[in-house]
Every structure is written in C-alpha cells, then in structure tokens.
Amino acid sequence: MSLKKKGLVLSLAVASSILLATGCSSSATSGGASGSNDAKLPAVGGTIYKFDDNFMSYVRRSMEDSAKGKVNLMLNDSQNDQAKQIEQVDTLIAKGAKSLAINLVDPKAAQTIVDKAKAKDIPVIFFNKEPDEAVLKGYDKAYYVGTTSSESGVLQGELIAKAWESNKDKWDKNHDGKIQYVLLKGEPGHPDAEARTKYVIDTLKSKGIQVEQLAMDTAMWDATKATEKMDAWVSKYNDKIEFVIANNDGMALGAIASLEKAGYFTGDKFVPVVGVDAIPEALEMIEKGKMVGTVLNDAKNQGKATVDLAANAANGKDVLAGTDWKLDDKKAVRVPYIEITKDNIQVGKDAYK
C-alpha cells in the first residue's frame, strides 16, 4: 500500500470514528442518552418513550441502578417520536447491543423493532407499553415486563367505591345517589389508559354504584395538559363535579393544581381526586388530604425486572436465570399493583425509596 493510500485509509478510519462519536453525542444532545458506560460489560441497548414522563423517570432510575456493574446500559430518550426511536434502535444494534430493552413510543411499532432484532438474533425485552400478543409470539426472543393493565382500573374502582360509601353524605353534592365524575385519560391506544378507563367504571357499576360521566378527555399522562382540561371543566361544571378520576398521578396532580386555583381544598370546598402510580408527589397529596388515594405502579421492580431479563439475554442465558421473576403464558413478567390510601401510605413510600 502506498503511503498516500495508507493516509487515506487512516483518515477514513479517523473520520468514521468521529462520525461514530458525533453519532453518540447527537443522541446525547438531541435524543438524550445516558448509561453506565462500562464498555467491558455486555451492552444492553435501551429506549424510553420520553424521559420527560414522571413515572418513567422512576423506572429509568431503577434501570440505571440495576445496571450498575452488571451491564453497559445505553439508554436513549425517544422524545415521544417513533421514527426517532427506530433510528435509535438501528444505532444501538450498530454499536453492538447484545440485547434490547424497549419502551415503545407507539405500541403498534413493536413488529418493526422485532424484525430488526430478529434479523441479528438479538433478544428484545419490551417494557411498560405492552405490544400485541402476536408480536411476542412471533419471536422466541421477545418478552414483556410490565403489569396486568386491567388490575389498576379494578383497584382504582374498589378504592373509589370504598371512599364513596363512607363519605357519600358529603360527597354526593346533588343527593341523587350517583357519582358525577370527570375522567382524565392517558394516551389513547395505550393499553394502560384503555384498560384503566374501562375497568374503573366497570368495577364501580359491578358494585352497584351508579355513575354519570360529565366529561372525559385525554391529557396524555401529562400534568400541564390535565390542568388545562380541568380548568375548562371546573368553569363549565364547577360544583357538579363529584369525583376526579385520573389514569395516572401526573394528571391527578395537574387536576389538583387547577382545583386549588378555583378555591378547592380550603375550608369546606372539596372534591375527591384519585390517580395511579403512587409517585412521591402524589403520596404527599394523600397525606395533605388533597388526594383520596392512588394505585401503586411499581416502578422500581419493573425497572429491575427489565434489566434482569435484558442482562441475562445479553449474556446468552435464560432470561429468568438467577431471578425470582416468572413469565406468564404470554412471555410477560407482570408486577402487581397495590391500592394505596393514607392507611398504608408507607407501602407506596417504600416502593419509591
């Protein structure tokens, strides 16, 4: 090889390593990447649908803690953009990820990601947003870590029923025996949002409690959007609202902010609010009497199970090796939900320590 050619090869090598490096930093700035950065450990490629999601920030923390000293977790912020997430998956595979841990942006994109992973024989652990059963069935190295979505709706319904039964003298403001409610829904099409919305109401009805929906709309799991919705509903219905049901705590907190502006939670002005997740900010509201209760969505164990399975997969082991997790017939690890009120608030606190 001539000297000139050698120089060209070298500069190409330098250029491509610069390209790779900028590829990393561009995902760190525009996509936001973080990880344990221990290059000697097996690499696990991860995505979170958006870092700026209250509950997912706790799942992320648990994943990062669980990864320490075990795997090199390369975690990307998909910024709620499915196209961006697909690119991130391509990059993670190119960087040598031995397994993938994917929190989908759009549950419908699961097949696209499985196709990419399958082509390289890389196992995929989906978490938090459950893909269709057929997608998991179609690839023997695809798994899910999450919950049984309907359970959170059932528990929230039971919690509302108990609270209503013991407070209806005060809470049934128009004395018609029915709960006039507004419902803040999570992202439409998200299995958790759909199931919570259905099962909370089905559960109330099955307990013989009559309900009347005043309003329902999505606030996309988001506190700020929930405040805006609630502002509009408070000005339209005001005291007619007898219950605020939120698919998650983020939106419950957003609703409380709106209600506070309207003078609620001072003197006798009160409306019961419930959520799901049991994030620390919601537990604080329960202690202050501004929230009736929530349902623990166990971020710590979901994050840990995701990394446990992904680490085993990256090491070519059975995904459950050395763990206590169990797979159901859909190849899913399902972490249970727990009803949380003032009476057992410590359970929620311990889960988010």
Give residues in contact with ligand GAL (CB under 6 A).
Answer: 49, 53, 55-56, 128-129, 186, 190, 192, 221, 248, 250, 276-277, 297
Whole-number minimum distance, CB 236 to Ca ion, in Å? 17
Inter-CA distances, 288 with 126, 283, 344, Å: 36, 9, 15
48 vs 122 by CB, closer to ligand GAL: 48
Which one of ligand GAL, Ca ion, none interacts with residue 157, CB within 5 to 8 A by kind? none
CA distance 142 to 166: 46
CA distance 142 to 111: 10
Which one of ligand GAL, Ca ion, none interacts with residue 343, CB within 5 to 8 A by kind? none
In the chain, the largest separation of any two C-alpha atoms, in whole Å, equals 93
Which distant-in-sequence residues (6+ apart) come within 8 Å of 178 by Cβ? 172, 210, 211, 212
Which one of Ca ion, ligand GAL, none interacts with residue 330, CB within 5 to 8 A by kind? none
List beta partners, residue 182: 215, 244
Inter-CA distances, 219 with 49, 86, 250, 322, Å: 16, 25, 10, 40
CA distance 291 to 207: 22
Which one of ligand GAL, Ca ion, none interacts with residue 297, CB within 5 to 8 A by kind? ligand GAL
Contact (CB, 8 A) for 41 and 68: no
99 vs 149 by CB, closer to ligand GAL: 149
CA distance 191 to 108: 11
38 vs 281 by CB, closer to ligand GAL: 281
Whole-number minimum distance, CB 352 to ligand GAL, in Å? 13
Whole-number minimum distance, CB 197 to ligand GAL, in Å? 12
Whole-number minimum distance, CB 140 to ligand GAL, in Å? 26
Give the torsion through C-alpha atoms of 275, 276, 277, 283, to 10 deg: 30
45 vs 153 by CB, closer to ligand GAL: 153
Which one of Ca ion, ligand GAL, none interacts with residue 99, CB within 5 to 8 A by kind? none
Whole-number minimum distance, CB 190 to Ca ion, in Å? 30
Whole-number minimum distance, CB 294 to ligand GAL, in Å? 10
218 vs 312 by CB, closer to ligand GAL: 218
CA distance 309 to 317: 9
Whole-number minimum distance, CB 171 to ligand GAL, in Å? 25
Which one of Ca ion, ligand GAL, none interacts with residue 128, CB within 5 to 8 A by kind? ligand GAL
Angle between helices 280-287 and 249-261 (to 10 degrees): 50
Which one of ligand GAL, Ca ion, none interacts with residue 178, CB within 5 to 8 A by kind? Ca ion
Which one of ligand GAL, Ca ion, none interacts with residue 174, CB within 5 to 8 A by kind? Ca ion
The DSSP output letter for 53 is: -
Whole-number minimum distance, CB 160 to Ca ion, in Å? 13
Interface with Ca ion (CB under 5 A)? 172, 174, 176, 178, 180
Instruction: Give me the half-sphere count of Cα atoms (radius 13 Å) on the Cβ side of residue 281.
Output: 15
Inter-CA distances, 322 with 244, 266, 312, 325, Å: 43, 52, 9, 9
The DSSP output letter for 239 is: G
Which one of Ca ion, ligand GAL, none interacts with residue 240, CB within 5 to 8 A by kind? none
Residue nearest to Ca ion (CB): 172
Whole-number minimum distance, CB 29 to ligand GAL, in Å? 24
276 vs 292 by CB, closer to ligand GAL: 276
98 vs 334 by CB, closer to ligand GAL: 334
